Each structure stands twice: as C-alpha cells, then as structure tokens.
C-alpha cells in the first residue's frame, strides 16, 4: 500500500513537471488588418458586378455635412442643386452656369474668400463681381457646397443696375471738398481707393471714392465712402462703436 501511494505521488509530480517544463509561450496574435489598410482606410463594398474599393481617408472637401442642415432658404438664395463641387474652379463654373448675367457686358468674377482652411459645417466660396476690371462693392455671390448638394446665394438685381458712366466723375480732392462743406466735417481724410458701389434698395451702381481718417484712436477712426460724381455720403464706418 505504501509503495502504491509513493508511486502515485511520483507519477503526479512527473506529469506536473513535464507539463510545466514543456509548455510553450503563446505566440502573439497576428492582426489580419494590413497596416496599409489603416493608413488608407479603404473598405470593400459589394455591388452587382463585384466589389470595389472606397477611399475614406481623404478629408471630405465639404466637411461631411448634408445640405439638409440649411432647411430654411436664405433670402439671398438663388439656386439649390444636388450637384456636389470639389474646389474653386468647379464652384466658379457652377456659378457662371447658373446665374443670369449679361454675357455681352464686361463683367467678370473673382474668388475673394473661402472656407477651405476653416473646419466649418460646409465649404463656401465668395466671388466678387468686376465691371471693366473694377470691383463692385456689395456684389458678392457665395457658392456653398455640401456633401450632397450646392447652394448659390447673391443678388442678380446687380446686373440690372447700370454701372455709372465715369466721364462725369470728379477728382478725389474735389469730392472730399464737396462732402466737407455739406457736412461741416473738417477732419483730415486720406484718399484710399475707388470702385463701383451697388445700392440694393435703389438699384443704382455709382462709382465711389473711399477715404480714411486715422487719428490713432479706435473710437474716432472713420472710413468714408462718397459718390465720385456728387459727393453724396454712401458709407460712414467707424472702426469701433463705444
């Protein structure tokens, strides 16, 4: 009996020692997801004729928002389309193809601002209208493109407003003098630039001069916009309001 017990104990020890000594360390689990897939983030989708890769790594040029976020049309909305755009040139072509403007007149369009580098809700491009290569203030058209559609905003009434004849304009000094006398304003304004100015309410498009008064005090600095033919005050903008 004693011998059988000892034999059993020896057998148990042998089994345990053999199992522990010969046990292999588990191999690491190999991922079935290729590293290139992580970088490219491609996925397989099925279709009627097989499968195709869909790239999802490139950032969505429209920031991933649906056109449905704009449920209420803006008062300046001209067109709403399901066409999706990718870049300034497509936006420019889309604008020219979908607004009514006299192509026989010397109008041109230039992209002046965009949200390309701004991670906002959607991608937009602002286009300023030029007449005879002179910019028209207040003429901006905006192309807003989402991941499932595009909107154009602006005012086509601009093209019914005839830009002023430049033969009747006065010099910047003459116009500033007219304004100063009419408004009893003797501040030292400096001429800045000239361009057309679209007046939406009256449907006019006069040529204007812009002047600047800068005394070094934010609350007193002024930007003036004057009709280049009559001296009429069209814009009076302080740098800040107290």
Q: What is the CATH number of the domain that holds 198?
A: 3.10.450
Decide which of 160, 177, 194 is a domain's last residue. 160
Q: Does 154 lie in the same domain as 71?
A: yes
Q: Is residue 125 part of a domain?
A: yes
pLDDT at 61: 57
- Full residue range of the structural domain in which residue 91 is found: 67-160
**Which of 134, 92, 82 shows the shortest CA–CA distance to 114?**
92
Q: Is residue 51 part of a domain?
A: no
Number of structural domains found in the chain: 2
List, run by run, the mean pLDDT of 10-residue segments along the chain (242 residues): 44 43 37 35 35 37 75 88 92 96 96 85 91 97 93 96 95 98 95 97 95 88 96 91 62
Decide which of 107, 131, 160 is a domain's last residue. 160
pLDDT at 67: 87
Q: Is residue 24 part of a domain?
A: no
Q: Is residue 151 part of a domain?
A: yes
Decide which of 139, 160, 181 is a domain's last residue. 160
Q: Is residue 112 part of a domain?
A: yes
Q: Is residue 193 part of a domain?
A: yes
pLDDT at 161: 95
Q: Does 147 lie in the same domain as 76?
A: yes
Q: Does 184 lie in the same domain as 153?
A: no
Q: Does 146 lie in the same domain as 177?
A: no
| C-alpha distance from residue 205 to each of 108, 123, 221, 233 (Å) | 16, 30, 26, 14
pLDDT at 98: 97
**Which of 210, 177, 211, 175 shows the shortest CA–CA distance to 194?**
210
């Amino acid at each position: 009996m004693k011998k059988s017990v000892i034999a059993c104990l020896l057998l148990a020890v042998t089994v345990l020692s053999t199992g522990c000594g010969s046990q292999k360390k588990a191999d690491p689990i190999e991922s079935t997801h290729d590293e290139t897939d992580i970088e490219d983030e491609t996925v397989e989708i099925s279709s009627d004729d097989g499968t195709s890769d869909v790239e999802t790594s490139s950032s969505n040029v429209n920031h991933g928002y649906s056109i449905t976020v704009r449920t209420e049309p803006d008062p300046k909305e001209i067109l709403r389309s399901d066409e999706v755009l990718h870049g300034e040139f497509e936006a420019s072509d889309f604008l020219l193809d979908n607004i009514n403007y006299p192509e026989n007149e010397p109008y041109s369009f230039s992209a002046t601002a965009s949200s390309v580098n701004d991670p906002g809700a959607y991608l937009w491009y602002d286009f300023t209208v030029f007449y005879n290569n002179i910019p028209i203030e207040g003429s901006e058209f905006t192309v807003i493109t989402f991941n499932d559609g595009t909107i154009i905003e602006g005012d086509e009434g601009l093209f019914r407003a005839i830009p002023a004849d430049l033969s009747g304009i006065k010099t910047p000094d003459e116009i500033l003098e007219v304004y100063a006398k009419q408004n009893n304003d003797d501040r030292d304004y400096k001429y800045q630039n000239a361009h057309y100015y679209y007046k939406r309410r009256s449907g006019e498009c006069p040529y204007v001069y812009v002047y600047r008064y800068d005394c070094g005090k934010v609350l007193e600095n002024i930007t003036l916009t004057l009709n280049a033919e009559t001296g009429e005050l069209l814009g009076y903008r302080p740098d800040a309001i107290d």
